[in-house]
Amino acid sequence: MNGHALNGLTGDAGDASTERIQVVDEEKQFTQALSTQVERWGLRDAGFNYNIVAVFGSQSTGKSTLLNRLFGTTFDVMDETRRQQTTKGIWMCRAKAMNVLVMDVEGTDGRERGEDQDFERKSALFSLASSEILIVNLWEHQVGLYQGANMGLLKTVFEVNLGLFGKKPRDGTEGRTLLLFVIRDHIGTTPLENLRATVTADLLRIWDSLAKPDELKDRQLSDYFDLDFTALPHKILVPDKFETEVANLRTRFANKDKSDYLFKPLYHKRIPADGVSMYMENIWEQVQSNKDLDLPTQQELLAQFRCDEISAVALNEFNDQAKSQKRPIEAGKVVEGLGKMMKSWKTQALERYDRDASRYHAGVYKRKRTDLLGVVDSALSPLFLGQLKNLHKACLVSFKKEMMDGMKGDSYSFADIISSARTTCETRFTEGAKEALLEDTDWVWEDELELLREEVRSVADQCRKDETKKMINQIERNFKKQIAEPLDVALNQPSADMWDKVLKAFRQTLDKAESSYLTKAKSFNCTEEENTTSLATLRKRAWLALRAKIDEHTSDAVFLSKMRAFFEERFRYDEHGVPRVWKPEDDIDSQFKKAKDQALELIPLYSHIAPQDETLQIELPSDDFSDSMAQEEFDFPATLVVFTETKTMDLTNKFRRDADAYYVEAKRSTVASIAQ
């Protein structure tokens, strides 16, 4: 360099001012030397008084050439004779006679280059986020070509830029970037205005198609970017014109006083010059670590778009089919052949998808297929679950019916009926559930079967309890019938062993009842515990039946008449059963007393259930009084008492009065016979 004076810069900067630095190398490493280099360029103390510009565009479109012409930089330019890519990574120079940092970025080629694409995206995003002006360099004939003009790349770069750096204030004071489109080899037949319109429309379309974060979904392209356009003539064909236009453009970068000055303050990132290296390094780090940047290739992008569309179409038809059975299921119907239907809808949907989508990028095709499967399965899952519920209900209903039908006859084995009804029920459910189950899903029906089993168990249990109750009632009725006669006989013939007879009859009849219960209980599959309770109930009821019978025989009226009969037999009839005709010389008094005393002895005899043979005595457990609020607790010892003390006295008195009447009558009859 031949020592041009550099306005306002420190003296010895001249040597260093043309130095270049590779900011990011091929290994994607950010340089450690940028901060030193900025100092060597003499910009360390420039404060905000500097600018940054970067370039973006396809390979070999003259980017480096343009930068060198515009800014007097020393970026490598492709050697015409070798025609190979020169710029690797990101390079930076200081512009000649301007406080401008210029970045030359490895070109993109719009084709797929695997690993390289990653760098394209990252470097593009980096330059977009870090510079005030991004020169978008493109051939005139690339305008309007989505692929050729890197518009696809721009889309992903915009997208990630929005995600990473989009939450800046909307007032436009900060974070705005100028996209300067430089259209190369402009022939002039298409006016710049038309080219501008085409590119702008393309950009707006790209912007609309971005996947924007929710909170930024209303943001416009113009909230973040200004667009400017310029065209340059053909460098080889019209070199003079090219040079003139480049010089023009240069003044727009250099001259603050020009009305079309490009470095507007609002594009400035407001980072003091001594912090710019760290700022850029941070941006590179964010860009590097951002997962969203592991971006799909163009082919994948297209595949994603198309596979989504194809999947949506397949899903549409599927949804219509699935909807047809939604209502019946919701209405509680068990849909015949549901599994077969669902399987066919699913197969059809996949076939439709496969037919059209399998031609696209294999990875995307497979991923979207998995997504489709997921959607299909989760749409079918409620039908499956609904079917299970309905099946459950239906099976339970027919279980009950089969059970009831089985018990219509007189002789049946409850256990057999239940077990056969249960088998029918479970078989039907299992078959139905298996029919509805689709392969390759995580659906299960076993849980529902378990619920059904539980309900069947509890229905059967309840039924068994009801049946047992009925059976006990039946046995109780039989008991009452059988015990009535022997009791009447025993209780109508007062004798010292009256209670022995009563209790013997009771025991025999009860034994019969118990064994009849046990025989039947076997068929009911009653548990040991249930048998114990049932037998206790049976004994208690039998005893109460006995007590009721005793009460019949010992009610006041009945018992008094029993005593009267007993007394009359002894007082009014002689030992041969012949009615007495009292004569005056008869000893009425002692006859009367004897008969009365004998009759009165009936009261203590009947007053307690007390056999002579003590082994005949019945012993039953009383109800637990402590925790029962019931009024009629069963107090066994109390039931042994037929007449209480008061009752005994009451009966005694009543009977005495009756007997006295007989005595008076007897006396009168003798007086009458004397008087005749």
86 binds ligand GDP (CB under 6 A): yes
Q: Among ligand GDP, Mg ion, none, what binds residue 236 when CB lies within 5 to 8 Å by partner kind?
A: ligand GDP
Q: Does 87 sit near ligand GDP (CB under 6 A)?
A: yes
What is the C-alpha separation between 195 and 231, in angstroms, rounded? 9
**C-beta closer to Mg ion: residue 155 or 184:** 184
The residue count for binding ligand GDP (CB under 6 A) is 18
Q: Quick one: 583 exposed, middle or buried, by C-beta within 10 A (0-12, 13-18, 19+)? A: exposed
Binding mask 59-88 for Mg ion (x = CB under 5 A): ----xx----------------------x-
- The mark string for 566-605 relative to ligand GDP (x by CB under 6 A, - otherwise) is ----------------------------------------
Secondary-structure breakdown of the chain: helix, strand, coil percentages, each rounded to the nearest 5: 60, 10, 30
SS3 219: coil
CB of 104 to Mg ion, least distance (A): 6
CB of residue 225 to ligand GDP, shortest distance in Å: 22
Binding mask 200-239 for ligand GDP (x = CB under 6 A): ----------------------------------xxx---
The entry of ligand GDP, Mg ion, none that residue 185 binds, CB within 5 to 8 Å by partner kind: ligand GDP
Eight-state DSSP code of residue 89:
S
Nearest to 133 by CA among 99, 101, 162: 101
Q: Which part of the chain contacts ligand GDP (CB under 6 A), choosing from 7-15, 56-64, 409-417, 593-601?
A: 56-64
**Counting contacts by CB under 6 A, is residue 74 touching ligand GDP?**
no
Q: Tell me which residues in 106-125 interact with ligand GDP (CB under 6 A).
A: 107
Query: Checking phi first, is residue 191 left (phi over 0); if not, alpha (psi -120 to 50) or beta?
Result: beta
Residues 332-361 that bind Mg ion (CB under 5 A): none
In terms of DSSP bridges, do strands 225-231 and 100-105 run parallel, antiparallel, or are they unpaired? Answer: unpaired
CB atoms inside a 10 Å sphere around CB 645: 9
Residue of closest CB approach to Mg ion: 64
80 contacts ligand GDP (rule: CB under 6 A): yes
58: nearest Cα among 102, 103, 110, 104: 110
Q: Does 51 bind Mg ion (CB under 5 A)?
A: no
Which regions of 95-175 does DSSP assign to beta strands (E)? 100-105, 133-139
Q: Which is nearer to ligand GDP, 184 or 268 (CB)?
A: 184
Give the pair of three-digit tokens for residue 462.
């309840």
User: Given the rule CB under 6 A, which of 75-83, 376-384, 409-417, 483-491 is the region that contacts ligand GDP?
Assistant: 75-83
**How far apart are CB 134 and Mg ion at their closest, in Å?**
15
What's the N-to-C CA distance of the chain in angstroms? 184
Nearer to Mg ion (CB atom), residue 73 or residue 534: 73
Per CB under 6 A, 141 contacts ligand GDP: no
∠ CA 665-669-671, rounded to 5°:
115
184 binds ligand GDP (CB under 6 A): yes
Q: What is the DSSP string of 30-73?
A: BPS-HHHHHHHTT-TT-TT--EEEEEEEBTTSSHHHHHHHHH--
The rounded distance, in Å, linking the Cα atoms of 234 and 247 is 14
* Total residues at interface with Mg ion (CB under 5 A): 3
Q: Please, which residue, 185 or 476, has the CB nearer to ligand GDP?
A: 185
Nearer to ligand GDP, 80 or 632 (CB): 80
Ramachandran sector of residue 237 (left: φ over 0; alpha: ψ -120 to 50; beta: rest): alpha
Return the H-helix or E-strand segment holding 92.
strand 90-94
Considering the complex, what minimum distance in angstroms separates the CB of residue 233 from ligand GDP? 8
Give the separation between CA 618 and CA 544, rounded to whole angstroms.
13
Q: How far is the CB of 60 from ligand GDP (least distance, A)?
A: 4
Segment interacting with ligand GDP (CB under 6 A) among 61-69, 275-283, 367-375, 590-598: 61-69
Q: In what order do the strands lie in the sheet with 225-231?
A: 20-24, 90-94, 100-105, 51-57, 133-139, 177-184, 225-231
**65 contacts which partner out of ligand GDP, Mg ion, none, CB within 5 to 8 A by kind?**
ligand GDP
Within residues 87-126, the interface with Mg ion by CB under 5 A covers: 87
Does 96 contact ligand GDP by CB under 6 A? no
The C-alpha atoms of residue 495 and residue 514 are separated, in whole angstroms, by 29
Dihedral pair phi/psi, residue 100, rounded to 5°: -130, 130
Looking at beta carbons only, is 68 or 591 nearer to ligand GDP? 68
Residue 387 lies near Mg ion (rule: CB under 5 A): no
Among 31, 37, 64, 161, interactor with ligand GDP by CB under 6 A: 64
Site for ligand GDP, rule CB under 6 A: 59-65, 77-78, 80, 86-87, 107, 184-185, 234-236
Site for Mg ion, rule CB under 5 A: 63-64, 87
